[in-house]
Chain A
């Protein structure tokens, strides 16, 4: 088609078209274009929070869906998340200034005894790409580490990862300790890792098991929305 050859001037697009274009650009992992789009919307008087949710998070939702459906794979998703981070870098200080809430904050780490981290790193990158704040505790975390971090960071979500069948039961130790301290229900707890399944997640008392990074993002968004609804009800 001939119009595919045309160069697109982002600033000439109206708001709706620009948001559509930014979603396409996120899909293609075009960081500079996303940064430009974010700046244009801000100049047009959009609030930082609206730019974040309508343009960026909206676009990443499409990326997440295609990852879930096996159309996109990790490399494409990481490029998209990287473009998203470019936009976030502009929005973050503004969001802090206006006191607008960010989407949510997650403390994440691989459990004690487990030295695998690639799955956890992917979840971190995609959560960040979706606009969450991430505090990454790395590998081999004892229960004290998790609890200290969620309190210090005033996190919304605790994410735990395990790749070994021998280490996954430790997740229950963490959750049980939180129960003993009476803080279990203050946090959303998501668990993941190759040997886990939904049944295991339920058995240990997590809020959800997330099969992959895309599911983690969707699940986190659902739980955060529920939490906000409860807060305002």
Chain B
């Protein structure tokens, strides 16, 4: 184990990841509709500032500004030929900031979904998906990313394609999915289903888990689902700072720094090792999270009731795991030969 993340994991029993990228960049003046990745080239100072703000708030790991940096997403901006360049520079800027931190900080090369639906339901073939992820992975590797960080995935097929691509790039990686539909991913995968997918991979990630989705409570229910399976692999929790609320013509996330501090400590008690935020999580949230993780003792594994008491209710009654799993499909009246 020679990568920076595995080394950190050996010396510490929890690590803090970063917060939001999109929310922060919009605050810095990113115009809706533009590809954030273009800023790696056009506004490198702002991207350095973004990375630095996570490091200064106490993050041990931060994600590069390359989430939409695959050919399929960049094509929407006519920038599909710039995959290598935008990812490489996104990682190089991260390398600079991490190396100047004065303590070990991991540069995680962010890789988001292609946004396409995979065959046979949709148009994206496994081969094309692997090719796209591989191209992005090579760019991040060239820029000096320590690990690759797959996130916000909903289809197991896409997760597998990325794993294969990262093997081709010979890079260690982490990968999280987004559980936003009644406790499952959009494609219907439960926390247990994801854990099974991960453990069957030829090239499994260093750590796996959940990001984004619907608020902090739901995310912790998913983490409890992972840890109940007794898998050794470290679990990642990167939840949103509450839920977006529309008020007086503008939008804000309703999670306060204090709530996110509570969330961070609970996430650790739920069994997560790598804890961070996602949409709406700003440096002030991260500071409180770091402080809480450093000063507060570990507690027992919380119950679902304790989570809702501290963080608010769940978005759905069940998440498709355990005894009260979702009702079964209609029985077919007949079968065909």
Chain A contact residues, CB within 8 Å of chain B: 3-8, 20-21, 24-25, 27-28, 30, 33, 62, 66, 69-76, 78-79, 82, 112-118, 121-122, 139-140, 164-169, 194-195, 197, 199-200
Chain B residues, Cβ within 8 Å of A79: 120-121
Q: Which of A4, A21, A75 contacts B121 (CB 8 A)?
A: A75
Chain A to chain B contacts (Cβ below 8 Å), 6 pairs:
A25-B336, A71-B330, A74-B186, A121-B117, A140-B76, A166-B26
B297-331 Cβ-contact flags toward A at 8 Å (1 or 0): 00000000000000000001000100000111110
Chain A residues, Cβ within 8 Å of B238: none
The smallest C-beta distance from A55 to any residue of chain B, in angstroms, reads: 15
A178-B180 Cα distance, complex, nearest whole Å: 34
Q: Which of B33, B316, B329 contacts A71 (CB 8 A)?
A: B329
- Contacts A112-B33, A169-B249 given; indicate if A5 touches B335 (C-beta within 8 A): yes
Chain B contact residues, CB within 8 Å of chain A: 26, 31-33, 35, 68, 73, 76-77, 113, 115-117, 120-122, 155, 180-182, 184, 186-188, 244, 246, 249, 251, 316, 320, 326-330, 332-337
A78-B31 Cα distance, complex, nearest whole Å: 33
The smallest C-beta distance from A35 to any residue of chain B, in angstroms, reads: 14
Closest A residue to B317 by CB, please name it: A70
Chain B residues, Cβ within 8 Å of A75: 121, 155, 187-188
| Interface class of chain B by DSSP | loop
A75-B122 Cα distance, complex, nearest whole Å: 9
Decide if B330 touches A27 in the complex (CB within 8 Å): yes
Q: Which of A5, A72, A195 contacts B244 (CB 8 A)?
A: A195
Chain B residues, Cβ within 8 Å of A7: 336-337
Chain A residues, Cβ within 8 Å of B76: 115, 117, 139-140
Closest B residue to A21 by CB, please name it: B334
Q: Which of B35, B251, B330 contacts A115 (CB 8 A)?
A: B35
A6-B332 Cα distance, complex, nearest whole Å: 13
Decide if B182 touches A70 in the complex (CB within 8 Å): yes
Decide if A166 touches B251 in the complex (CB within 8 Å): yes
The smallest C-beta distance from B27 to any residue of chain A, in angstroms, reads: 11
Closest A residue to B333 by CB, please name it: A24
Decide if A73 touches B187 in the complex (CB within 8 Å): yes
The smallest C-beta distance from B155 to any residue of chain A, in angstroms, reads: 8
A167-B73 Cα distance, complex, nearest whole Å: 18
Decide if A200 touches B246 in the complex (CB within 8 Å): yes
- Contacts A71-B327, A200-B246 given; indicate if A82 touches B121 (C-beta within 8 A): yes
The smallest C-beta distance from A120 to any residue of chain B, in angstroms, reads: 11
Q: A69-B327, A118-B116, A168-B251 are in contact. List 4 more A-B contacts (CB 8 A).
A: A4-B335, A72-B188, A166-B251, A167-B33
Chain A residues, Cβ within 8 Å of B116: 118
Decide if A28 touches B332 in the complex (CB within 8 Å): yes
Chain A residues, Cβ within 8 Å of B336: 7-8, 25, 30, 33
Decide if B334 touches A8 in the complex (CB within 8 Å): yes
A55-B335 Cα distance, complex, nearest whole Å: 18
A75-B244 Cα distance, complex, nearest whole Å: 27
A165-B35 Cα distance, complex, nearest whole Å: 16
